[in-house]
Amino acid sequence: MKYVSTRGGMAPLDFSDILLEGLAPDGGLAIPQVLPRLSAETLQGWRGLPYADLAFEVLRLFADDIPADDLHRLTRAAYTDKIFGSEDIVPVRPLAGGMSLLGLSDGPTLAFKDMAMQFLGQVFEYVLAKRGTTLNILGATSGDTGSAAEYALRGKKGVAVFMLSPQGRMSPFQRAQMYSLQDANIHNIAVRGVFDDCQDIVKLLAGDLDFKAACRLGAVNSINWARIAAQVVYYIHGWLRATTRADQQVSFAVPSGNFGNILAGHIARRMGLPVRRLVLATNENNVLEEFLRTGVYRPRSAVDTYATSSPSMDISRASNFERFVYDLMGGDAARVKALWRELAETGQFDLSSLQPSFETDYGFVGGVSTHADRLSTIRSTYDEAGVLIDPHTADGVKVARDYVEPGVPMLVLETALPAKFSDTIQEALGRPVPPPAGLADLESLPQRVQVMECDAEAVKAYVKAHALL
């Protein structure tokens, strides 16, 4: 399996090579040259596999440059009951109204990012040791990516993490989770701006090829293909749990921000997983929902990005979206490149002539959920099914309800646990959520964070001074 760039300007590379890079040298994103296909027999043969073994079967399709025994060891180290709290790793729980919850949030940081990141931590350490080199992870987070990356990489050999977060835009629990880490290889940088400002700085620094090479920069944000590949696993796991026959379809509803999670569902569907619908849920920052409805992609500026009560979805420009557009363009990298040039020049592009195909050919539908929707959905889900969901998952449940069909299981992806967003749960139910066992005093631990102006040069100087070389 070789990887190329969505913009056509990268010679084909192996999985281990793109693992250690951020953006492709031409500014595009790495994508498999040819997607593997899952036959009905293959899928049926995977029934009953423990999660770590399923992950091995799926990931070997994408990482065939890693010896199979080694890869199997890595997935077994990543997906343990000790790290994820149960043998299931990803439990499936019934909700009312034909829906079920795909439990992706039982990892160390209580959000679905752990699913991919725990594998990434293992495979990074493995590849770096094998190559005798080091890597400095530079990333931007609106909350959950950063903590998941830091928990997966803390104390790992050969890696340091520089994580930019928007100051004051994360919940106290999220802040405490990240900033309380005292490991020497973890650097938290709080930027006076919003998530997109952080992401712009990361893109600028990673786009400076001399700096990138000198500081050995890499990425773990959602543009990293290894994360997408690791996320494909739980779509297959969910399908295996919800069906008995090979031809049975399921739908997935996905609370979306950077388009990373749902992109993995799109990839699984293109590989042949019988997926009926991919239901994309946004909060008030509805750039992606607008695109699915109109075909016009019109990212917002930072000032037009609202701070909502599902903060991990407060994203105006979806970094993974380019991979979906690459497929919409039939893999024509020149057209992708032209669209992103148009985007840079005019602030938008228009694919309205293709809009009907989003649903008919790709299964994509979308919807918006507001603060009031979140509160009422948290309440009704608790009343009807006895299940407490977090505000992001509530956005997913709210939009999923409109697309439930008889005979088609609707799996809603649980993207975080409610304990992470206790203020909103308090507002919805009139009582807070007790923190999970072992995390009761998290918010009172000492915090370690560097506060900086929204200034790429300042961040650059800091990374230069602290990079692991």
Ligand X SMILES: *Cc1c(COP(=O)(O)O)cnc(C)c1O
Is residue 313 involved in binding ligand X (CB under 6 A)?
yes
> Which is nearer to ligand X, 216 or 227 (by Cβ)?
227
Q: In the set 136, 312, 369, 422, which binds ligand X (CB under 6 A)?
A: 312
As a whole number of angstroms, the distance between CA 104 and CA 117 comes to 12
Q: In the set 18, 52, 99, 111, which binds ligand X (CB under 6 A)?
A: 111
As a whole number of angstroms, the distance between CA 460 and CA 458 comes to 5
How is residue 393 written in tokens? 């998952």
With the CA atoms of 29, 34, 40 and 41 taken in that order, what torsion angle do they form, in degrees rounded to the nearest 10? -120
Backbone phi, then psi, for 366, in 5-degree steps? -140, 170
Contact yes or no for 112/227 (Cβ under 8 A)? no
| Site for ligand X, residues 272 to 311, rule: CB under 6 A | none
| Site for ligand X, residues 396 to 425, rule: CB under 6 A | 415-416
As a whole number of angstroms, the distance between CA 150 and CA 160 comes to 9
Min CB(255)–ligand X separation in Å:
4
Size of the site for ligand X (CB under 6 A): 16
Alpha helices in 165-299 (DSSP H): 172-179, 195-207, 209-214, 225-242, 260-271, 287-294
Identify which range of 79-87, 250-258, 294-302, 430-438 contacts ligand X by CB under 6 A.
250-258
Q: In the set 169, 269, 277, 392, which binds ligand X (CB under 6 A)?
A: 392
Min CB(393)–ligand X separation in Å:
8
Q: Which residues are annotated as catalytic?
A: 113
- Per-residue interface string for the shown chain with ligand X, residues 35-54, x marking contact by CB under 6 A: --------------------
Min CB(318)–ligand X separation in Å:
7
Q: What is the CA radius of gyration of the chain?
A: 21
Tell me which DSSP letter residue 111 carries.
B
Identify which range of 25-33, 89-97, 173-181, 249-257 contacts ligand X by CB under 6 A.
249-257
- Per-residue interface string for the shown chain with ligand X, residues 54-93, x marking contact by CB under 6 A: ----------------------------------------
| Site for ligand X, residues 205 to 224, rule: CB under 6 A | 222
As a whole number of angstroms, the distance between CA 389 and CA 371 comes to 14
Identify which range of 49-57, 73-81, 160-168, 256-264 contacts ligand X by CB under 6 A.
256-264
> Which is nearer to ligand X, 121 or 143 (by Cβ)?
143
**Is residue 24 classed as helix, strand or coil in its secondary structure?**
coil
- Per-residue interface string for the shown chain with ligand X, residues 165-204, x marking contact by CB under 6 A: ----------------------------------------
Identify which range of 37-45, 252-260, 301-309, 446-454 contacts ligand X by CB under 6 A.
252-260
Give counts: helices (H), strands (E), the chain. Answer: 20, 15
Q: In the set 260, 295, 409, 418, which binds ligand X (CB under 6 A)?
A: 260
Alpha helices in 295-390 (DSSP H): 321-328, 333-346, 355-360, 371-385
Contact yes or no for 252/408 (Cβ under 8 A)? no
Q: Estimate the share of the chain in helix, then strand, then coil, as percent rounded to the nearest 5.
A: 50, 15, 35
> Which is nearer to ligand X, 110 or 452 (by Cβ)?
110
How many CB atoms neighbour CB 245 within 10 A?
A: 8
Identify which range of 181-189, 238-246, 253-261, 357-365 contacts ligand X by CB under 6 A.
253-261
Question: Beta-strand (E) ranges in 298-454?
Answer: 349-350, 364-368, 410-414, 450-452
Q: In the set 114, 144, 289, 314, which binds ligand X (CB under 6 A)?
A: 144
Which residues of this protein are in contact with ligand X, per CB under 6 A?
111, 113, 144, 222, 255-261, 312-313, 392, 415-416
